[in-house]
Amino acid sequence: MLGRLGSGGMGRVFLGRSPGGATVAVKVVHPHFAHDDEFRARFRREVEAARRVGGAWTAPVLDAGPDDDVPWVATGYVAGPSLSDAVAEHGPLPEETLRPMGAGLAEALAAVHGLGLVHRDVKPSNVLLTLDGPRLIDFGIARATDGTASLTASGASVGSPGYMSPEQILGRPVTGAGDVFSLGAVLVFAATGQSPFPGDSAPTLLYLVVHEEPQLHGLTGELGELALACLSKDPAGRPEPAELVDRLTAGGEAAHLVRPGWLPPPVTEQISRRAVELLAMEAQPAAAPERRDDGLPSGPVPLQQAEYGPGAFGPPPVLDGTAPGAAAGAGAPGAPPADGAAAAATPPAGAAGAALGAAAATGPERRAEVGLRSRRFSCTLVLSVAGALAALGLGLFLVPGLLDDGGADRPQAQNPTGGNSAGNGNDSGNEDGAGGSGGAATDSPSPDPTKTVDSVPDRFLGTWNGEVLQDNGVPNGRVSVEIEEGGKGEYVAYFDYSLYDVAHCYSRAKLTAATGGSLVLREEDDPARKNSEGVCAPGTSEVTLTHKGGATVEYRSDAEASGNPRATLRKGGG
């Protein structure tokens, strides 16, 4: 267990890691539900059904313990804020966000209804926003509370009063139309920042839902019409999820609307911050296990060197927050993996969090592993703290102060003649390496950009900077490269990948080929400079720099795992 995420009407939610390396959310049911035999039977049946739920807009159920003393269920962890948090912090969402969000949620409901399930708790806090689309969570779990979904003798209700359908509140049979009602309320909240049934107490909210017409708070146009149709008191008058998808996408599907930039920039940054927080949590070294009286070590379970996969997830912690103990074995710090697996392929040198960014950009089903010192861990992104993870590859909008800047100046290359390489004077320098007093540099004729050369052309010399993007347009931070004189097989370029000046990953590169207008470099870790802890992975990649004329160079890397990053570099500036 890595920490506690929160709590709700059903139970507490913890962040954990499976033996297979997956980041998971573990929901531990409140004890009073555990004593209800009917609840347990429904929970068991619906968890099994929920295992079949998949697709781009849900978090998969990985494992569960319906028969444990305290029932629990583990789902894939999605890196991203809830809709309720995003709106509270950043305000209502624009239409270009509302349409793909609504369509994605409607597609998720259509898929689940097709399995004979009803969500029964669609609300803003059960909608997560990620870089590659929305996620609807808690499938199958709300259905397990069917026997207590209406008001109980004590007046308590399992659900969210402002988002429950009238029939659910009244204890009548609930169908998929109830989820559509809740989705309509969610759309109004996302668009306006207010519930369609505003009230300051549960009884007031329940009364308004059953007896009063919804308030759209100025939401007009097609979105207002759709929300109003969803909020019909009559279940038969509400549209089907497929109809919602069709109208929100103009006859297409949600995936066509989810593209880079579908979320407002402040929400994108929030997602990335959460991803970095998880990354920092994962990077904490495991404490040395304590010894028990029987001679077996106990204490926190160390991160294991294991492949990502749907491994069985053990029992969650007891509700007092005590973490389960575990015997140290092959997974202990410094020990080899139990299965003897070789280290996973790693992102290119200097690519901080590159594998995380790739997972974020390709959706929850893609997993990437990051090599880190003597261990590796994997994350499920959307940029998964949220699939976590939601990182931005190199550009993880890091929280200031979260990661130490372990940067160190690169030793300056020595000028064997002691002269000023930029000058064209005749002084050769003195004995202690002081530069000569050569005159100012003069422009030299541009070399033939197609002619093969054996060394770095003068036009590339100097420092180049620029913002990096993945090939799908997702920002990837900033890169600075200093290019020096040298020939094939020599180190001629030194890279600094900056995570918004909070963390740095350093690399160096040998010249492998060159023309008058391009350089091909083999990039690797730079042992002379210390990377920021917990964000950089070793490895190599091929980088191509193409001079575009003037003071502009095009940067491209073949690092597929980090999104084939590219950048337009400018000499001496951004």
121 flagged as catalytic: yes
> Of these residues, 121, 132, 496, 526, which one is catalytic?
121
Q: How far apart are CA 33 and CA 40, in angstroms?
A: 8
DSSP letter for each residue of 162-211:
TTS-HHHHTT----HHHHHHHHHHHHHHHHHSS-SS--SSHHHHHHHHHH
- Strand partners for 317: none
Report whether 516 contacts 544 (CB < 8 A). no
Report whether 345 contacts 376 (CB < 8 A). no
- Strand partners for 554: 546, 568
Q: Which residues contact 249 (CB under 8 A, 6 or more apart)?
A: 99, 103, 256, 257
Burial 289-322 (b: 16+ CB within 10 A, else e): beeeeeeeeebbbbbbbbebeebebbebbeeeee
Q: How far apart are CA 247 and CA 204, in angstroms?
A: 33
Q: Strand (E) positions, 223-262?
A: none
Q: Strand (E) positions, 206-338?
A: 290-291, 297-298
Report whether 46 contacts 33 (CB < 8 A). no
Torsion angle defined by CA atoms of residues 109, 112, 118 and 120, in that order, rounded to the nearest 10 degrees: -50
Report whether 537 contacts 282 (CB < 8 A). no
Q: Which residues contact 340 (CB under 8 A, 6 or more apart)?
A: none
Q: How far apart are CA 290 and CA 194, in angstroms?
A: 51
Token pair belonging to 218: 């100025």
Report whether 559 contacts 565 (CB < 8 A). yes
At residue 337, the 3 state secondary structure works out as coil
Enzyme catalytic residues: 121
